[in-house]
Amino acid sequence: AQSVTQLDSQVPVFEEAPVELRCNYSSSVSVYLFWYVQYPNQGLQLLLKYLSGSTLVKGINGFEAEFNKSQTSFHLRKPSVHISDTAEYFCAVSEAGGGNKLTFGTGTQLKVEL
Amino acid sequence: KAGVTQTPRYLIKTRGQQVTLSCSPISGHRSVSWYQQTPGQGLQFLFEYFSETQRNKGNFPGRFSGRQFSNSRSEMNVSTLELGDSALYLCASSSGTGALTEAFFGQGTRLTVV
């Protein structure tokens, strides 16, 4: 079975600074990888996804992520954060042939400070 | 077009009661998945329905059940509620099944069991 690890439960960062949110996964089969964002009292919104091809994936709101198969990682980065990026970020994986089932990490709370 | 609609948004129930939550997917979407979100366990997959058939099921007790209607609307039911069932229940709709189709999440139903 697949699993996802987000080692950082909270990441504080100053506005306009760069940020990296870490995600590692484990699976015995081919996987697809996702990053979602959740604002308070809201559902989840897809930031970006990796299905195949180029390992550098660009998403919405200036976020990007790099798939590293050898390190089984899919870290999320943004070169310059804004106050409005304060939210919880979830890394998720689905297995090839696993339908729409997503396995999520425990989330990383990004807090952007002035 | 309208997004995923979950009703009700908030619900308070007593231990031992049962509850039914509703999810109306985006028009034209045939897949609905349900997730439970709690501070302790994070986001956990409950089940997935596609064209009225359950395609996938998570590791939840039989008290948790669901169904999908011919118009793709889905309901989930929890019987004999326990305090630990207090959670945000999220519904996601997709046009198909598999990672190539994006999952769109509703705002969730927050269930409190007292």
Task: List the single best residue of A57, A101, A104 to mutate versus B (max B Cβ within 10 A).
Answer: A101
* Cβ contacts of B53 on chain A, cutoff 8 Å: none
Residue type, B44: Q
d(CA B56, CA B95): 16
d(CA B114, CA B103): 32
Assess whether pLDDT exceeds 70 at residue B1: no
Residue among B113, B109, B61 at smallest CA distance from B86: B113
Q: Which position has the token pair 């519904």?
A: B91
Dihedral of CA A18/A23/A24/A27: which sign? negative
How many CB atoms are closer than 10 A to CB A28? 8
Which tens digit of pLDDT belongs to each residue from B35-71? 999 998 999 999 999 999 999 999 999 999 999 999 9
Dihedral of CA A13/A16/A20/A21: which sign? positive
Which tens digit of pLDDT belongs to each residue from B79-112? 999 999 999 999 999 988 776 778 899 999 999 9
Mean of the per-residue pLDDT values of chain A: 93
CA distance, residue B65 to nearest chain A CA (Å): 16
* Contact criterion met (CB < 8 Å) for A45 and B48: no
* Cβ contacts of A96 on chain B, cutoff 8 Å: 99
* Cβ contacts of A41 on chain B, cutoff 8 Å: 107
- When CB atoms are compared, the residue of A32, A43, A102 closest to B107 is A43
Q: Which position has the token pair 């050898």?
A: A70
How many CB atoms are closer than 10 A to CB B49? 26
**What's the pLDDT score for residue A37?**
97
